[in-house]
Amino acid sequence: MTQSEIISQTEQYVLHTYNRFPVALDRGNGMRVWDTEGRSYLDFMSGIGVYALGYHYPGYDEALTAQLQKTLHTSNLYYHEPLAEAARKLVTSAGLDKVFFTNSGAEAIEGAIKAARKYSFAKYGPGRSGIIAMNDSFHGRTVGAVSVTGNEHYQEPFRPLMQGVSFAAYNSISGVRELLSDQTCAVILETLQGEGGIFPAEKACLKELRALCTERDIVLILDEVQCGMGRTGHMWAYEAYGIKPDILCCAKALGCGVPVGAFVLSEKISSSSLAAGDHGSTYGGNPFVTAAVSTVFDLFESGGIVRHVRDTAPYLEEQLDRLKDSYGFITEHRGAGFMRGLELDPSVPAGKVAARALEKGLLIITAGHNVLRFLPPLIAGKDEIDEAAGILAACFDEAAEGNL
C-alpha cells in the first residue's frame, strides 16, 4: 500500500481518537525510522518513551524470537520461567516486594488504586477510600485513571467518574495537607509530570510527602510510566529523592515495544491488600511480554544504559539551553535526564514546530501548555543530539521570521 492509501484506509476504519501526523511509518533501526516512501527520520520521541533501546537493539529481537518459538501465552493458572525472571529483576530493581504485570500503564494505575483501597479496607474497614491526586497530572484514559488525572479536558465528557478523588497543586505539600482527612487512603503523583508539561517533583516536597504518608499510613503511589526505566538518569526517578513509594507504576520502556505495564508493591502493601480473586488479567504477565521485560533489564545492565543517560544528559541539557538563550520565544527549559521540555510563548505554537520538524526529518511531540517534549531513546549520543538541535534551530529560525 502507498502512504496515502494507508492513511485513507486508517481514517475510514479506525476510530478517530488520535490526531495523527500525515506519515505512515514502516520500519526502524537504532535512532531512526523510515516511512513507507523510504524517508528517514531521527526519532526523539521513542514511541512516547517506549523505545528506550531504540530499534533492533542487539539481543532484543533474538530473545523475543526465541520465546516466540516456544509459546506466546499461557493462562495465569500456570507458572512459567519468563514471569519468574521478569518479576525478580523488576522487584529487585525497584527495591520493593511483589509485582503484578498488566498490559499498559493505565492498567497499572487501576491496579494500584485497587491495591491501595484494599489495603485500607483490610486494615481500617469501609469508608477510608479517598485519594489525593495532583492538578495537571496524567495517569491514563480508563475510567479509574481519568478519575485521578487532574485535567478537566480529560474528565468532563465522562462524568460521573470514580468518587472520593480530590486534587492538590503539584509540588504543594500544604495543598495536600489541606485535603487530608480520616477517609484518605492514598496519594498519587508522577515523580516527573510528563503530559502536564515536564515538571519534576521538588525534592523537599516529595520527601515531606513520603514522611506524611508514612505518619498517616497513607499509600504513596508514584506513577513512573513515562519517567521511569532510566529516563531521568536513574533507573527509577524516585531514587534521586532518597525515598521509595508504597506502589510503583511502570510501563512504556519496561518492555521496549511490547504492550506491558506493572505495579510493584512494598511488603507492607502486598501482604495486606490484593489476594487470590481480587485482581486479574488474561494477558498480563504472559510468557512473551515477560521475556521482553527480562531481556530489557539484562540489556540495560550489559549496555550501561542508565550510566549512558547520566553521562550524556548534560550535553542534551546544554544544547537545549543554547536554543533557549538564542530565541526569545522559548520561555523555559526544564526536566531531567532524557525527559525534557522547552516551553514556548503562545505566539509560537509548539504543535506547528513539531509539524515543521517532521518535515525536516525529526520526530518530536508536545506536552502541557505549548511545550516541546523530548523523549529520545536512551541510546542517543552527542551526534544525534546535535542533529536534532540543528533541525530545531532551523524551525525556530522560521518561527522568528514569521514563516512557521
**Global pTM?**
0.97
Rounded Cα distance, 105 and 154, in Å: 16
The reported pLDDT for the residue numbered 402 is: 86
For the stretch 353-364, pLDDT in tens is 999 999 999 999
Closest CA to 346 of 363, 361, 368: 368
- Portion of the chain with pLDDT greater than 90, in percent: 99
For the stretch 97-147, pLDDT in tens is 999 999 999 999 999 999 999 999 999 999 999 999 999 999 999 999 999
* pLDDT beyond 90 at 404: no
Mean pLDDT of 205-219: 98
For the stretch 11-28, pLDDT in tens is 999 999 999 999 999 999
The reported pLDDT for the residue numbered 159 is: 94
Mean pLDDT (the chain, rounded): 97
pLDDT band, residue 170 (cuts 50/70/90): very high
Q: What domains, with CATH codes, occur in the chain?
A: 3-57+304-400 (3.90.1150.10), 71-302 (3.40.640.10)
Long-range contacts of 266-271 (CB under 8 A, 24+ apart): 266/96, 266/97, 267/96, 267/97, 267/98, 269/115, 269/116, 269/119, 269/219, 270/97, 270/98, 270/115, 271/97
Alpha helix segments (H runs only) across 22-100:
46-49, 60-68, 81-94
Neighbouring residues of 370: CB distance < 8 A, sequence distance ≥ 6: 343, 344, 345, 346, 348, 349, 350
C-beta of residue 223 within 8 angstroms of C-beta of residue 188: yes
Mean pLDDT of 250-272: 98
Bond into 160 cis (ω within 30): yes
Q: How many of the other CB atoms lie within 10 Å of CB of 29?
A: 12
The reported pLDDT for the residue numbered 235 is: 98
Closest CA to 141 of 230, 43, 251: 251
Mean pLDDT of 327-333: 97
Mean pLDDT of 51-72: 98
For the stretch 297-325, pLDDT in tens is 999 999 999 999 999 999 999 999 999 99
The reported pLDDT for the residue numbered 200 is: 98
The reported pLDDT for the residue numbered 403 is: 87
Mean pLDDT of 381-389: 98
The reported pLDDT for the residue numbered 4 is: 96
| H or E stretch at 155 | helix 152-155
